[in-house]
Amino acid sequence: MTTATVAGISTLPNDTYDAEERDMAATVLGDALDDAAVEPGDVDGLYMPKPRPWTSQKFFSTFLTRWLGLDLDRSLEVYTGGTSGGTAFRSAVADVRSGAVDTAAVLAVERNSTVETDDYFEYILGIFDRQFQSPMGPSIPAVYAQSLQRYCYEHDVDRETIATVVEKNRRNAESNPDALFYESAAPTPAEILDSRPISDPLRLYECPAPTDGAAALILTSDGSDDVDVEVTGIGYDHPPSHLIGVRGESMSRLPAAAGGTEAALDDAGLDAEDLDVLEPYAPFPHVEAIITEEMGLFERGEGARAAADGRTATDGEIPVSPSGGCIGRGHPAMVTPLINHAEAVRQLRGTAANQIDGARSVLTTSEHGHVDGMNAAVFEVKR
């Protein structure tokens, strides 16, 4: 089996952009190709999440193929919610490993600044069960608010402890130029809990800001002359769930996180304790805490307390979201998985904004719905 190496990366800072999605996509793809020292004609696989419904250009990957002059053996434009970028990446890794392609481009682009509120809520209602859930008018924050409330109740975790996860990630974002809250002072737990309510008990500062963004990675079957960042593990899991909890499980449990990360770690031949950094897809603070618990890094109910104690800080025993994560960076959902991957590569190259000394292995995740399904990937550096 061929090794999949990340040869090039590029991300746009999470912000608001006037440029069309196709121009943003072309920018990050071109920059990633330059970073990899690869010509467009060398790309024989293109993988991407399907852009949001409000994107004007439809049939996006085929449009890019002609516009950029790509001659492809494999092409995938996929939609699986927030896992879309991770699913595209996992497919690209599998194709490079199998020898189906030699050079894969994985990209994602999203502009949330263009969508009208009514159109957005109609889109969101459509992802819930149309017969039994949508008529009640649910929202994404409302689902996560339920699991937050249950997590705090089951494990006797107070809201101030949950707020320390937000404080940590906003503090990490202060020094990340790609983050929405770059150079913006992190709020205190009191300020976080005093921000306006979104869906009880969630507050504004506990919710990720939807932004515009774009990212691209180039995977090859060849190593480099400098630092090789290899994708040594990929995994996925989807329990019987659709947004509002897993059948027969508490809403404070996220079994997809356990299954997806375990599969990726098994593929890489590592244990969770071997990891140096985590860059999870965690749009709400308790999700980050539960992921670390599902991985066995902390006991049930201790993930949030670990953040409060500094154990998941950049200088802690297992740094989690040193880039700022969804809450600190902003959250273009289709792009976030690839941003996590790019941050993993930067850590292993030694170029991250919040560099973890001696980092040699990073695990990233992406999820959809209420963590209904989860992709995970393990990156390791080979010098």
pLDDT band at 369 (very low <50, low <70, confident <90, very high): confident
Mean pLDDT of 207-212: 97
For residues 94 and 110, give the distance between their C-alpha atoms in angstroms, rounded to a whole number.
Answer: 25
Strands 103-110 and 277-279: unpaired
262-289 pLDDT, tens digit each = 999 999 999 999 999 999 999 999 999 9
Position 224 scores a pLDDT of: 60
Q: Fill in the DSSP letter of residue 93.
A: H
Domains and CATH numbers, the chain: 4-115+211-218 (3.40.47.10)
Q: Please count the residues of the chain.
A: 383
Mean pLDDT of 109-129: 93
Please calculate the CA angle 268-271-274 and round it to the nearest 5 degrees: 95
For residues 343 and 362, give the distance between their C-alpha atoms in angstroms, rounded to a whole number.
Answer: 9
Rounded to two decimals, the pTM is 0.97
pLDDT band at 383 (very low <50, low <70, confident <90, very high): low
pLDDT at residue 319 tops 90? yes
Q: Which residues contact 56 (CB under 8 A, 6 or more apart)?
A: 20, 21
Mean pLDDT of 179-193: 98
Mean pLDDT of 1-15: 95
Position 164 scores a pLDDT of: 98
49-92 pLDDT, tens digit each = 999 999 999 999 999 999 999 999 999 999 999 999 999 999 99
Crossing angle for the helix pair 336-349 and 84-98, nearest 10 degrees?
A: 60
Asked if 257 contacts 269 with a C-beta cutoff of 8 angstroms, the reply is no
Mean pLDDT of 96-115: 97
pLDDT at residue 1 tops 90? no
Position 60 scores a pLDDT of: 96
What's the mean pLDDT when you consider all of the chain?
96
Higher pLDDT, 25 or 247: 25
For residues 123 and 54, give the distance between their C-alpha atoms in angstroms, rounded to a whole number.
Answer: 10
Q: Which of 324, 330, 332, 245 is closest to 290 using CA atoms?
A: 245
For residues 84 and 233, give the distance between their C-alpha atoms in angstroms, rounded to a whole number.
Answer: 18
- Which residue has tokens 């300020």? 191
Neighbouring C-alpha atoms within 13 Å toward the C-beta of 154? 17
